[in-house]
A and B are shown apart, each in its own frame.
Chain A
Amino acid sequence: MPGLEDVFQFMLSIDVFDIIKLMVVLGLGFYLVFAVIVVRQVELMKRTLNGAIDVPLKILALVHLGVAFLVFGLAIAIL
């Protein structure tokens, strides 16, 4: 059957590095969700107790999210 043969050809062409790339991208995708939750967490914490370093903490959380996005994009682009 031509369809099944194509599937086998595709499976044989998969490189181990393709699998690693998929796993890394998936993992980074989950980490992105975590980074968004951290930003949300900082907001919640600031609302509960606000003080002198609220702005730096918010910036740190956003930088963390930005770096996570950057690494995710890099993983897709260069792997």
Chain B
Amino acid sequence: MPDVFVADGVKEPASGGGEREPIIRHETVLDREKPTVNPLASFVIRPRTMRFETQQQEEHILLLLRQHPIVNVPWMVITILWAGFPTILPLVPGWSFLPPNFQAVGLLVWYLLAFGYVLENFLNWYFNVFIVTDERIIDIDFYSLLYKKLSSAKLVQMEDVTFTQTGILGAILDIGAISIQTAGERREFEIANIPQPRKVVLFLNEMVGQEEEEAIEGRVR
């Protein structure tokens, strides 16, 4: 009898023998894309050189998300204005009455504060991430200088994934927010201003489907 349907990615199990069913691994939407090499990207596919604190030995990061780079524009504009302000200092009342040594130190302090401002904003953007591995989702948030929160939930615990995309900027730049309801300790994961939210939701749903299949086949770690 001819085959009615043959699935892609069908492979025989390594430990053969007997009449066991082949393991079917469905391709996800990100499998067709190359791993991201740009370390400053906000949509990072299968990063090769990244690891997070609670990552297990056999766990692999499949997707790492940061806020879209456009969220950095406000503080960058402020920094440019901040750096340019000293050019109009001679017009500021009282500035010319300060001795030259005070003016020099004042300028140095001004630019030192700008340096600190830029550094803090960049660190805040770079390290606040959302990670999808082959087993779970992880949300890493740094709320202040020394306060971090790392929340995770297994993929099979995800119950509902929705995304919203609002505004002209969201439509033009494909930015949105994702909300994930889980059955874990942390009930809801909210990730705002991420790029390609539709693709992320599609990927998450595909990963949940794979986890459910693995659970049925008894291959859950």
Contacts and interface: CB of A to CB of B under 8 A. Distances in A.
A78 B119 contact: no
Contact of B116 (A47, A64, A78): A64
Interface of B: 39-40, 47, 49-53, 99, 101-102, 104-105, 108-109, 112-113, 115-116, 119-120, 123, 126-127, 129, 140, 142, 145-146, 148, 150
B119 A48 contact: no
Given A49-B127, A50-B50, A41 B101 contact: no
A48 to B, nearest CB: 5
A48 B53 contact: yes
A37 B105 CA distance: 23
A49 B99 contact: no
Interface of A: 17, 20, 24, 27-28, 31, 34-35, 37-38, 40-42, 44-45, 47-53, 57, 60-61, 64, 67-68, 71, 74-75, 78-79
By DSSP majority rule, is chain A's interface helix, strand, loop, or mixed? helix
B62 to A, nearest CB: 15
Contacts of B116: 31, 34-35, 38, 64
A67 B140 contact: no
A52 to B, nearest CB: 4
Nearest to B131: A49
Contacts of A53: 39-40, 126
B25 to A, nearest CB: 27
